[in-house]
Each structure stands twice: as C-alpha cells, then as structure tokens.
C-alpha cells in the first residue's frame, strides 16, 4: 500500500483506471510542493486526450445544476466525465461544495463520472497553480471530458476557468442590474454565454445586454462570436442546445488551430509563473533573515523606502 503513495506509481495506477490512486494523486496536487510537482510531471506525458470545459458565473446563477445537466448530456454520448469544483475564495467549503450539490449525487453511482472539489489552501494564487495540474491528472486518467466549475465570478475565478478549452459564462435575467459583475473579465473569457433561469422575466434584456457588450468588444470578423443560449437548468430546457454550442466551439478551435494556440498560451503563462515562484523562493533563501530584518527596520524608520530596500535585496543576492 505504501508504494501507492509514490507519485510515479500513483500516476501509473490512475492512468490504468484506479480511482483510489486518482484521489490520492489529486490530494498531493492540492497540497502543493515537491510531491505535487512529481505527480504533475509524471502525468504530463500520459495526458492530451481530454477536452476541458470551464463553467463560471455569479453565486446562485445555477452553475451546479447546469453542470449536473451537462454531465448527463455528455453521458448520453457515453463519454466519461471528470468534474473539478473549485472555490478560490473560501478555504472552508472543500466539503460544503459537494454537500450543497444534491443533484450531483445523482451521478455518485455512475462509474463514468468522477467529481472532485478543491478549495484554496493558503494564499491567493495557490489554486491558480493547483487547478490546471489537477486537470492534467484527470486528463492522464483518461477522461475525455473535463469540467471545471468555480463558485464565484471574481478575478480569481476567471483566472481558474481561463485554463479551460471552452468557457461557459452563466448569467441570469436581470444580472446586469443586480450583480457587480466582473464584466470585462467575463467578456474576455466567454466562449459561450448562458442565460440560465430563462423562465423568469428579463431574458430579452439580458440577451440585449450581452449583445451590446459583444458589439463593444469589436471582435475581428474571423474570431469566434460567443453564442448566447437560454436555459432552465432545473427542467433541462435548452441544455442540449448549450451542449451543442460547446461542441461547435470545440470544432471551431480544432479547425482553426485555435486549440493549439490557446493551449500554448496557457502553458507559456504557467511556465512563467513557475519560474517566477522558483526565483522568488531562491532569492529569499539566499538572503539571511538578519539582513532582511535590518533592511526592514531601516524602512520602518523611514530612512529608506520599500523600493530601495528591494533593490538592496537584489544586489545582495546577485553580488
């Protein structure tokens, strides 16, 4: 059993279909550090077949019900689905995410569906690194469809969903008035807009609002134009149309080489992030805490400013 915790053995087991090994590997990724890195490294050459769909939107917009319906849509094509439910703003909802999602329980007995929640550990940005790695582990496990769903709609959530190949942004009728939405960020990442709870008043206004946003964004003529799909997730209304829109976006990306470009851009951003973090930790390892403390006292006494202190840190490490 102890051997199962070895990252390489875990990845071999999970790519052979071992769900307990998968759960353990995801826990290692969530914890971060050296083991996370090893898991991700071993998983990388084994992945590449999964397609990732991101789902974001304001709390209460109906994302989890919609995700439940999309799982069913994918399962009607007999495809296996992995779901990563992410909450970047709350360290305490790791359990609650799934607890709240009664509908998700419908899939508990379906071996073709794997659901995992992930919450922030420690500082902001931790999930931005862990979420794509978790998706890669799920990819190495062979799921052809990978869904990633976030709880909120802030900048952190947008960054997390930004790792997906196709990104669904869920709004409701009346969203423009009620939500202090991160509109610019949402517009930038949306490949498909969903107006969920479309049995309520205000669908036409929401649609007009989204159209106006798209007009303003001045897309090039050969760019993908995000379709706007109305759904009532509770009754499954419009969900097939939404699933079809995701399929069309996927076809568009694949036929225009957009998929490769998008994935490479994402890899580039991630490599930058890894480099920046390594260099940062190396810098502060090289600096003794006495040196840093001395500098901070000088700053606190306003003899030097923060930037001068930062310059001195860099000189002392490089010298």
In the complex, which residues of this chain contact its own copies (CB under 8 A)? 37, 40-41, 44-45, 47-48, 59, 87-93, 96, 120, 123-125, 151-156, 159, 180-185, 260, 263-264, 267-268, 270-272, 274-276, 278-280, 283-284, 292, 295-297, 299-300, 302, 305-310, 313-314
Query: C-beta of 84: minimal distance to its own copies in Å?
Result: 18
What stretches of the chain show up as alpha helix (H) in DSSP? 7-15, 19-31, 33-43, 63-76, 94-99, 126-140, 155-161, 175-178, 183-189, 203-217, 239-255, 258-286, 289-300, 306-318
Measured from the CB atom, the residue of 155 and 256 that comes closer to its own copies is 155
Using CA atoms, how far apart are residues 81 and 70, in angstroms rounded to an integer?
10
Nearer to its own copies, 133 or 196 (CB): 133
CB of 153 to its own copies, least distance (A): 8
Min CB(44)–its own copies separation in Å: 4
Least distance from C-beta 90 to its own copies, angstroms? 5
Pick 17 or 60: Cβ nearer its own copies: 60
Identity of the residue, 204 or 280, whose beta carbon is nearer to its own copies in the bound complex: 280
User: Taking the CA atoms of the chain, what radius of gyration do you get in angstroms?
Assistant: 22
Nearest to 226 by CA among 215, 235, 240, 239: 215
Least CB distance to its own copies at residue 78 (A) = 27
What angle, rounded to 10 degrees, do the helices at 126-140 and 7-15 form?
50
Among residues 3 and 302, whose Cβ is nearest to its own copies? 302
Query: What is the rounded CA–CA span in Å between residue 176 and residue 206?
Result: 7
* Distance of alpha carbon 103 from alpha carbon 91, whole angstroms: 23
């Amino acid at each position: 059993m102890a051997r199962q915790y070895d990252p390489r053995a875990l990845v071999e087991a999970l790519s052979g279909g071992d769900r307990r090994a998968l759960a353990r590997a995801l826990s290692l990724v969530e914890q971060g550090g050296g083991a996370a890195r090893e898991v991700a490294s071993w998983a990388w050459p084994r992945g590449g077949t999964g397609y990732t769909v991101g789902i974001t939107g304001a709390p209460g917009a109906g994302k989890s019900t919609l995700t439940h319906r999309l799982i069913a849509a994918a399962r009607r094509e007999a495809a296996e689905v992995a779901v990563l439910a992410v909450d970047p703003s709350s360290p305490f909802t790791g359990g609650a995410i799934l607890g709240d999602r009664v509908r998700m329980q419908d899939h508990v007995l379906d071996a073709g569906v794997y659901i995992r929640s992930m919450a922030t550990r420690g500082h902001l940005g931790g999930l931005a690194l862990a979420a794509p790695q978790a998706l890669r582990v799920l990819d190495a496990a062979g799921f052809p469809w990978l869904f990633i769903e976030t709880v909120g709609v802030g900048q952190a959530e947008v960054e997390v969903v930004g790792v997906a190949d196709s990104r669904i942004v869920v709004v409701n009728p009346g969203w423009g008035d009620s939500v202090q939405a991160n509109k610019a960020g949402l517009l930038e990442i949306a490949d498909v807009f969903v107006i969920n709870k479309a049995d309520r008043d205000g669908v036409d206004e929401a649609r007009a609002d989204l159209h106006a946003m798209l007009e303003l964004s001045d897309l090039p003529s050969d760019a993908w134009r995000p379709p706007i799909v109305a759904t009532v997730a509770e009754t499954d209304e419009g969900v097939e149309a939404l699933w079809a829109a995701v399929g069309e976006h996927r076809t568009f990306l694949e036929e225009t080489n957009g998929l490769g470009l998008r994935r490479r851009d994402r890899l580039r951003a991630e490599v930058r992030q890894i480099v920046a973090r390594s260099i940062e930790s190396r810098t502060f390892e090289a600096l003794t805490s006495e040196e840093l403390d001395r500098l901070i006292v000088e700053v606190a006494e306003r003899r030097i400013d923060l930037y001068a202190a930062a310059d001195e840190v860099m000189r002392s490490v490089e010298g």
